[in-house]
């Protein structure tokens, strides 16, 4: 069964809107784990519009499953990650002004930079994942620069799912087969939801982990947090 890591950025966004601690981000993370989540993901951005840099050590002291910090590996981000040593760091090539991550790394163009960054993270005992598009050369490039895993950017899959789910997932299956052949782990995330998650999970051989935030938090407004987490876990069962 692929593991479910819940991205709690949107909870922090609601909290920040009123300048208080409502909802309580730390308690929310604790409850996510209590209700079955197998990991907590945060993505601090330079403007701290949702997860703040101060949230990272606070959550580090509370998370008992897997702690995943994702973001663009700027010097400030790397300092934060190395200081707090999560189980996994997911490197994402997002611009500071982007609303959300919408593409993966060019692992060939940025080979030297990524090799240096990943070497530093792995020396600190941190598993490293690279956000990539489902392309053979990008997956092979991720292996070359030393990443332990890739995280397949699934935004295009989600966008095309209702038009033709088999065509939508085809490139992801090919990328997963490459990853399995060369021995790099597979994570996935972005716009996965209760409609498209099961088909994706069943199509991708050896999928290890999905990171889901926006859809899960939105569903929790209707179904409640416990029920929602259980619904997502059921979609991930073999």
Contacts of 179 (CB under 8 A, 6+ apart): 139, 143, 150, 185, 186, 206
- Cα angle 220, 221, 226; round to 5: 30
- Cα angle 187, 149, 44; round to 5: 70
Distance CA 24, CA 12 (A): 8
SS3 177: helix
CB 105 within 8 A of CB 91: yes
Shortest CA distance to 96 belongs to which of 72, 79, 75? 72
In Å, the largest CA–CA distance within the chain is 49
CB 115 within 8 A of CB 145: yes
Catalytic residue among 33, 50, 66, 70: 70
Catalytic residue among 33, 151, 190, 235: 190
Distance CA 186, CA 165 (A): 20
Catalytic residue among 43, 66, 151, 209: 43
Phi and psi, residue 89, nearest 5°: -115, 125
CB 45 within 8 A of CB 12: no
Reply yes or no on whether 43 is catalytic. yes
Reply yes or no on whether 70 is catalytic. yes
Shortest CA distance to 78 belongs to which of 51, 49, 118, 33? 118
Catalytic sites, residue numbers: 43, 70, 190
């Amino acid at each position: 069964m692929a593991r479910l890591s819940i991205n709690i950025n949107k909870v922090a966004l609601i909290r920040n809107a009123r300048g208080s601690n409502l909802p309580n981000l730390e308690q929310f993370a604790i409850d996510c784990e209590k209700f079955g989540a197998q990991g907590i993901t945060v993505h601090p951005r330079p403007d701290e519009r949702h997860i703040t840099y101060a949230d990272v050590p606070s959550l580090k002291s509370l998370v008992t499953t897997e702690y995943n910090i994702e973001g663009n590996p700027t010097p400030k981000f790397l300092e934060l990650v190395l200081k707090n040593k999560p189980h996994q760091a997911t490197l994402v090539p997002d611009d500071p002004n982007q609303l959300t991550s919408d593409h993966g790394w060019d692992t060939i163009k940025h080979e030297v930079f990524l090799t240096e960054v990943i070497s530093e993270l792995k020396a600190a005992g941190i598993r490293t994942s690279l956000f990539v598009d489902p392309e053979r050369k990008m997956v092979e490039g991720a292996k070359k620069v030393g990443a332990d895993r890739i995280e397949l950017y699934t935004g295009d899959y989600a966008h095309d799912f209702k038009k033709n789910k088999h065509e939508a997932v085809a490139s992801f299956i090919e990328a997963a087969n490459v990853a399995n052949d060369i021995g790099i782990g597979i994570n996935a995330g972005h716009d996965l939801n209760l409609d498209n998650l099961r088909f994706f999970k069943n199509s991708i051989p050896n999928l290890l982990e999905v990171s889901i935030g926006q859809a899960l938090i939105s569903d929790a407004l209707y179904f409640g947090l416990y029920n929602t987490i259980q619904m997502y876990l059921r979609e991930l069962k073999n």
